[in-house]
Amino acid sequence: MTATLPILRLLKHKDRRLRAGHMWIFSNEIDNRNTPLTAFEPGEAVLIQDASGHNLGTGYVNPHALICARLVSRNPKYPLDKSLIVHRLNVALSLRERLFDQPYYRLAFGDSDGLPGLVVDRFNDVLIVQITTAGMERLKDDIVIALEKVIRPRAILLRNDTSSRELEGLDSYVATVAGEMPEQLEIIENGAHFTASATSGQKTGWFYDQRSNRASMQKYVRGMRVLDVFSYVGGWGIQAAMAGADSVTCVDSSALAIDTVNANAELNHVGDKVIAVKEEAFEALRQIRAEREKFDVVIIDPPAFIKRKKDVNEGLKAYHRLNRMAMQVLSKDGILISCSCSYHLQQDKLREIILGASRHIDRFAQILEHGQQGPDHPVHPGIPETEYLKAFFTRLLPN
Ligand code: SAH
């Protein structure tokens, strides 16, 4: 039995990429004569077929988006509905419960968890949800019911205010859809406690993707002077202080982030070691250099400088400049932890940038390790875009 869904048919040969593992369909791949895209509502569920009418699976459509359809299940029996969402959330939950002792993690990571267009971050019994496609937006109520069933949360907040929603013609809003949302989220990561604003924090409020890299950082900081640039609420810096750093300076341009760094330092009894500075990052690095102040470990974990392909040139310049300036304030055998969450900056390119910066300041570089996003952000092997986070740990010596 197949689900009784309207059919979306592809042009000849346009099934190959999907059969090879990809999950997205572009608008120029549709057989518009037989199944015109314009006949579909944004987000409508469909049965996807190749040019000869063979089923490829179920999915959903958005006639207004460049990615005009997404494959949801290769089994034509299962359309995306409440019961499939419950099933996939349970499968996602079982991975996270295997990975972590405590309920603080990314519960669902879009395509990589078979839930294209849906991200859910879990803060114990509080869930922050981000919907980025029309197909998921249509199922918003079912998503809430499914989450209530699988997690029994105290509150659910939709942080539907990301710019990527524009690509799908979706509006921007933030709404509590279940329970009463606390003003502050509470996070436990690698043994450290944090708070972050639920409604005005960055993205979903916390960057769980860096958990394993922050754990790797801890072995480099004992007795060291640490600089955490683009610190947000102190994810790296406070864990550095707790791992035995002598002093930690966190820099961020957001006053709210800086106030929260201070609160989080107190929360973990490292207030005496942590200084939080509200300053623009490049300006802060320029001042530190001008004052000839040095740090033994410098962490740069900026927002994505390359959000879209057209930003590549400008973004590359910014990464070059940032890495150079960060190295200029490193002590004699200092360690730079250089991150990028831009998908469009490939790992090799970041390595080249680090090499280029080390040549620029005439230092000998050793890459000690490189990290990626943690396992609660699985990579879909057919969708390169799901692998986006890079973190290089590099020691810089005199030549
Ligand atoms: N490193 C953080 C995540 C960074 S999010 C963590 O581990 O959680 C990006 C942060 O950079 C935000 O807090 C934002 O306020 C800050 N930011 C963005 N542009 C900035 C700039 N030009 N100078 C300083 N901070 C900036």
- For 274-303, the pLDDT digits (tens) are 999 999 999 999 999 999 999 999 999 999
Query: What is d(CA 181, CA 202) in angstroms, rounded to the nearest whole number?
Result: 17
Residue of 203, 232, 288, 338 with the most ligand 1 atoms within 8 Å of its CB, for mutation: 232
CA-closest residue to ligand 1 atom 3: 232
| φ/ψ of residue 212, rounded to 5 | -70, -30
CA-closest residue to ligand 1 atom 12: 232
Q: Is 236 in the pocket of ligand 1 (CB under 6 A)?
A: yes
Residue 304 confidence (pLDDT): 96
Q: How would you label 248-261 residue by residue, b for 16+ Cβ within 10 Å and e otherwise?
A: bbbbbebebbbebb
Percent of the chain topping pLDDT 70:
99
Give the class (CATH, top level) of 2-73.
Answer: mainly beta
β-strand 55-61 against 24-26: which pairing, if any? unpaired
Q: Is 303 in the pocket of ligand 1 (CB under 6 A)?
A: yes
Question: Given 3.30.750.80, 3.40.1580.10, 3.40.30.10, 3.30.1180.20, which CATH number is that of 82-182?
Answer: 3.30.750.80
CA distances from 126 to 148, 224, 237, 268 (A): 11, 36, 25, 22
- The continuous run of DSSP H or E covering 85 comes out as helix 82-99
Residue 3 has pLDDT above 90, yes or no: no
- For 198-243, the pLDDT digits (tens) are 988 888 899 999 999 999 999 999 999 999 999 999 999 999 999 9
Give the class (CATH, top level) of 192-398.
Answer: alpha beta
- Domain positions in the chain are 2-73, 82-182, 192-398
Tell me the two tokens of residue 263. Answer: 């609160």
Query: What is d(CA 195, CA 206) in angstroms, rounded to the nearest whole number?
Result: 9
Tell me the two tokens of residue 285. Answer: 């690095």
Those residues whose C-beta lies under 8 Å from the C-beta of residue 183, and which sit 6 or more positions away, are: 197, 198, 199
Q: Is 121 in the pocket of ligand 1 (CB under 6 A)?
A: no
- Asked whether the whole model's pTM tops 0.95, one would answer yes
- For 148-205, the pLDDT digits (tens) are 999 999 999 999 999 999 999 999 999 999 999 999 999 999 999 999 999 888 888 9
- For 363-380, the pLDDT digits (tens) are 999 999 999 999 999 999
CA distances from 209 to 142, 166, 301, 361 (A): 27, 24, 12, 31
Angle, helices 312-328/347-360, rounded to nearest 10 degrees: 50
**Confidence band, pLDDT 50/70/90 cuts, at residue 339:** very high
DSSP assigned state of 216: H
* Residue 341 designated active-site: yes
3-state secondary structure 238-265: HHHHHCCCCEEEEEECCHHHHHHHHHHH
Those residues whose C-beta lies under 8 Å from the C-beta of residue 5, and which sit 6 or more positions away, are: 45, 46, 47, 58, 79
